[in-house]
Amino acid sequence: MQRIGVFVCHCGTNIAGTVDVVAVAEALKNEPGVVHSAEYQYMCSQAGQDLIKAAIKEHNLSGIVVCSCSPRMHEATFRKTAAAAGLNPYMVEIANIREQCSWIHKDMASGTEKAIILGKAAIAKVNLNTPLTPGESPVTKRALVIGGGIAGIQTALDIADAGFPVDIVETKPTIGGKMAQLDKTFPTLDCAACILTPKMVDVAQNEKIRIFSYSEVVDVRGFVGNFDVTIKKRARYVKEDICTGCGLCTEKCPQKKVPNEFNLGMDNRRAIYIPFAQAVPKVATIDADYCTMLKTGKCGVCAKVCTAGAIDYEAKDEFIEEKYGAVVVATGFNPISMDKFDEFAYNQSKDVITSLEFERLTNAAGPTAGKLLRPSDGEHPHTIVFVQCVGSRCEACAEKGKEYCSKICCMYTAKHAMLTRDKYPDTDVYVFYIDVRTPGKAFDEFYRRAVEEYGVHYIKGMVGKVSPEGNKLKVQASDLIAGKQLHIDADLVVLAAAIEPDKSARGLATMLTASMDTNDFFTEAHPKLRPVESPTAGVFLSGTCQGPKDIPETVSQAGAAASKVIGLLCKDKLTGNPCVAQSDEMMCNGCSSCERVCPYGAITYSDKEFRMPDRTTKIRRVASVNPAVCQGCGACTVACPSGAMDLNGFKNNQIMAEVDAICKM
């Protein structure tokens, strides 16, 4: 049996004005477990707190009920008071007799009656309280950033700047991501490489940052502050520490017919290659799918020409295990496949291209050295049609497109149209749009400039059909304002393909137990108030893996994610909230219902041996909750059919006891 002390606060006249506090203290005196009952002017004052402390010692109290204002106001205060008197702070319950009683009722009799019932409910609950101790866990002071695009780069730089070591894992042979493939950036039109490559160099030179390029995360275990991660470093057949990046091998390699993914297959590279001139790390990589030596054992040209002796045909995949305190996901995006959009003839004509391909066509380091030439015949195009929202806002057909707006297309299309008109004023440029969305600093002005200064024809309406005829592309479109169908003979059609999260994100989310929405974007812990944190503690989100974003937004989110990581890594120990779920293994069915509703991935299952009353052992699958990850929502407790899952601080029997106390009138 508990020894409970009841403390009724007058709160000046705030409570005492409509509640007979003396009568409340008197009525609660005889409740089960209550050994002491008192009232006082201001319980939260120093004198009031001293009174509670003295009573705890004098009456050897095991729990206290404070009838006062809302627990949202002073629960923390009274918990500290209890702790100072040697009582476990979680043995304190508050009966809210101010906000939910005295302030809303005018009649003394009913106010007093209700206050007594609320007090009884709190007493009934304290009777079932158990002392709780928050768990502590150490923090590994190292961060992992998954993805080496601009989001990952910025996050890593910011974390390293605060003095913490950071590892970047990038699947490609170089960091840089999509931004490295872009030509100019809106709305200022500075060249992407000019602003990105210095940052890449910063990453390479930063002593706190390690880059695992050509690598992927294959396993994640543990929880916030204590992640155990396995990274697979794929064999690149070139010793990274020896290769000087001179590029001789990439010139001599006889295998010349490898589609160059950096230029989206619009030209070829060798089997041994460096993706682009400013690659970081600037190290060659052998493409095992194409290398004659690796496939047939006959060639070895690169090894012969390499003066540094960096080529190693015997290299194997390496697995690196490392501990991290925080994980930042920065896996980025890809344009969706255009295969299903037959109406735009993407697969029929080389001259129907995506916007990312257009970036490469206008980039000085691209397949045409920056000259805008048709991929089919290398001629200069005179009429270019841009089509916006290809696959974006496409709710009807999930296989084809995406229901959401890809956000960046309006702006980059304006940029492409403007740059084309700027370099080639003899070109007619049409942009077909559903809406032009330009919410950003200096964005609308940018778009208006394309229309007003550069004379780009913006036409409200969509392109319905593109059919190649001879060396022209017949474009059939609607002009909704003029209310007619247009027929344009175009030389080049550019599709603003919707963007989707990188395919690697889904598997990663499973490993991290981080939740995703139906479009495979990572879910944030709170859409407004915690936009860079995943609901899974210790996992943070940076860039387009969370939703479509342009570069400025990505960089600010990357910085925000970094600051959250720094905040976490600054701590030596993490103190948990003890009001977390707990599974009774003896009752657990192992059905996984709780695991499925847990938004934090705090629940795991394992097979355990149980000694049965008949002296046999039985192996059962049972749930266990990681208290460092659980946030205490209680969704699992209701999903659990057997009642094996319960929530500390809000246990089933505690809430039932409150219900009973309220209903026992």
Partner 1 sequence: MQEVMRDKLVAKAKELLTGGVVTRVLGWKRGEFCYDLTPGIFKSADELDKEFDFGDFAAPNLSKYLIDETRKEDGKVAVFMKPCDTYSFNQLLTEHRIDREKVYVIGVPCEGMIDNKKLSAAADGIKNVAVDYENVVVETLWDGNVTVPRESVLAERCLNCKSKKHVALDELVGYEDEITECNRFDEVARLEAMTPEERFEFWQGELSRCIRCNACRDVCPACTCEKCVFDNPSSGVESKAPSDSFEEKMFHIIRAFHVTGRCTDCGECSRVCPQNIPLHLLNRKFIKDINELWGEYQAGAEVGSRAPLVNYTFDDMEPSEAVERGDKNA
Partner 2 sequence: MQDVTNFKPLIVAFCCNWCSYAGADLAGSNRLAYPADVKIIRVPCSCRVNPMFILRAFQRGADGVIICGCHPGDCHYTSGNYYARRRMSLLFSMLDYLGIERDRTRVEWVSAAEGAKFAATMNDFVEKVTALGPNKRLEDLRCKK
Partner 3 sequence: MENKNERRREEILRISGVNPRKCMKCGKCSATCPSYDEMEYHPHEFVYMVESGELAPLLESKSIYKCLTCFACVERCPRGVEPAKLIEAVRLTVIREKGANHLKADDIPAKLDEEIPQQLLMSAFRKYSK
Stretch that binds partner 3, among 91-99, 340-348, 380-388, 446-454 (CB under 8 A): 446-454
Shortest distance (Å) from residue 63 CB to partner 2: 17
> What's the N-to-C CA distance of the chain in angstroms?
23
Number of residues that bind partner 1 (CB under 8 A): 23
d(CA 415, CA 496): 12
C-alpha span between 457 and 430 (Å, rounded): 5
Q: What is each CA distance from 208 to 198, 242, 317, 382, 538, in whole angstroms?
A: 17, 21, 24, 51, 20
Residue 567 lies near partner 1 (rule: CB under 8 A)? no
Closest CA to 627 of 113, 137, 24: 137
CB burial of residue 546 (10 Å; 0-12, 13-18, 19+): buried
Give 472's DSSP letter: E
Q: Does 299 bind partner 2 (CB under 8 A)?
A: no
The site map against partner 1 for 485-524 (x = CB under 8 A) is ----------------------------------------
Q: Judged by CB under 8 A, does residue 659 bind partner 2?
A: yes
User: Where does residue 322 rank: exposed (0-12), middle (13-18), buried (19+ CB within 10 A)?
Assistant: middle
80 binding partner (options partner 3, partner 2, partner 1, none; Cβ < 5 to 8 Å by kind): none
**Min CB(288)–partner 3 separation in Å:** 53
Q: According to CB under 8 A, which one of 17, 531, 578, 599 is a site residue for partner 2? A: 599
643 is an interface residue for partner 1 by CB under 8 A? yes
β-strand pairing of 472-479 with 484-490: antiparallel
- Please say whether the beta carbons of 212 and 170 come within 8 A: yes
> Quick one: what does residue 482 bind among partner 2, partner 1, partner 3, none, with the CB cut-off 5 to 8 Å set by partner type?
partner 3
Q: In terms of CB distance, is 261 or 660 closer to partner 2?
A: 660
* Strands 63-68, 4-9: pairing kind: parallel
> Is 567 among the residues that bind partner 3 (CB under 8 A)?
no
Residues 142 and 272: their CA atoms lie apart, in Å, by: 33
Among 460, 472, 474, 620, binds partner 3 (CB under 8 A): 460
Q: Which residues, at least 6 apart from 75, have a Cβ–Cβ distance to it below 8 Å? A: 92, 94
Rounded to whole angstroms, how far apart are CA atoms 621 and 607?
A: 4
Q: Using the minimum distance from each CB to partner 2, give the nearer residue, 369 or 665.
A: 665
User: Residue count at the site for partner 2 (CB under 8 A)?
Assistant: 50
Which residues are CB-contacts of 254 (< 8 A; sequence separation ≥ 6)? 292, 299, 301
CB of 581 to partner 2, least distance (A): 10
Instruction: Report the residue from 590, 604, 608, 650 that binds partner 1 according to the rule CB under 8 A.
Output: 590
Backbone phi, psi, residue 392, to 5°: -90, 155
The interface mask with partner 1, positions 595-614, x = CB under 8 A, is -xx-------x---------
Distance CA 225, CA 410 (A): 40
Q: Is 98 in the site for partner 2 (CB under 8 A)?
A: yes
Beta strands in 271-330 (DSSP E): 272-273, 285-286, 318-324, 326-329
- Asked if residue 448 binds partner 3 (CB under 8 A), the reply is yes
| Interaction partner, residue 471 (partner 3, partner 1, partner 2, none; CB < 5-8 Å by kind) | none
CA-CA distance, 333 to 152, in Å (whole number)?
13
Decide if residue 23 touches partner 2 (CB under 8 A).
no
Question: Is residue 371 part of the contact set for partner 3 (CB under 8 A)?
Answer: no
E strand residue ranges, 498-630:
499-501, 539-541, 573-575, 581-583, 603-611, 617-625
Length of the chain: 665
619 binds partner 3 (CB under 8 A): no
Task: Name the token pair of 109.
Answer: 């009799």
CB of 591 to partner 1, least distance (A): 4
For partner 2, give the closer residue by CB, 99 or 322: 99
* The residue to which tokens 């006891």 are assigned: 657
* Residue 455 interface partner, choices partner 1, partner 2, partner 3, none, CB cut-off 5-8 Å depending on type: partner 3
- How many CB atoms within 10 Å of residue 263? 22
Residues contacting 70, CB < 8 A, separation 6+: 94, 96, 98, 99, 100
408 touches 550 (CB < 8 A): yes
Based on CB atoms, which residue is closest to partner 3, 438 or 624? Answer: 438
**Which 475-504 residues touch partner 3, going by CB under 8 A?**
479, 481-482
CA 399/CA 121 separation, integer angstroms: 54
Query: 599 touches which of partner 2, partner 3, partner 1, none (CB within 5 to 8 A by kind)?
Result: partner 2
Here's the x/- map for partner 2, 457-496, by CB under 8 A: it reads as ----------------------------------------
The number of angstroms, rounded, from the C-alpha of 79 to the middle of its chain's C-alpha atoms is 34
Work out which of 102, 368, 583, 593 binds partner 1, going by CB under 8 A: 593
Choose one: 67-75, 213-221, 456-464, 638-646; the region binding partner 1 (CB under 8 A). Answer: 638-646
Out of 350, 472, 530, 620, point to the residue binding partner 1 (CB under 8 A).
Answer: 620
CB 185 to partner 3: min, Å: 24
**Does 114 engage in binding with partner 2 (CB under 8 A)?**
yes
**Contact with partner 2 (CB under 8 A) among 13, 70, 556, 642:** 70
Give, as ranges, the residues between 160 and 189 that touch partner 3 (CB under 8 A). none
Q: Which of 122, 1, 110 is nearest to 62 (CA)?
A: 1
Strand partners for 535:
none
The span from the CA of 401 to the CA of 258, in Å, is 29
- Is 451 one of the binding residues for partner 3 (CB under 8 A)? yes
Is 132 near partner 2 (CB under 8 A)? no
Diameter of the chain by CA atoms?
Answer: 99
**How far apart, in whole angstroms, are the C-alpha atoms of residue 357 and residue 375?**
10
Q: Rounded to the nearest 10 degrees, what angle do helices 652-663 and 108-126 cross at?
A: 150
Residues between 618 and 637 that touch partner 2 (CB under 8 A): 631-635, 637
Q: Does 63 bind partner 2 (CB under 8 A)?
A: no
Q: Does 588 bind partner 1 (CB under 8 A)?
A: yes
8 A C-beta contact, residue 391 and residue 336: yes
Minimum CB distance to partner 3 smaller for 394 or for 463: 463
Among 71, 152, 335, 401, binds partner 2 (CB under 8 A): 71
Q: Which is nearer to partner 3, 443 or 540 (CB)?
A: 443
Nearest to 324 by CA among 219, 445, 229: 229
Chain residues binding partner 3 by CB under 8 A are 448, 451-452, 455, 457, 460, 479, 481-482
Chain residues binding partner 2 by CB under 8 A are 70-73, 96, 98-101, 103-107, 110-111, 113-114, 117-118, 121, 515, 523, 525-527, 535, 579, 597, 599, 631-635, 637-639, 647, 650, 652, 655-656, 658-660, 662-665
Chain residues binding partner 1 by CB under 8 A are 586-593, 596-597, 605, 618-621, 639, 641-644, 652-653, 656
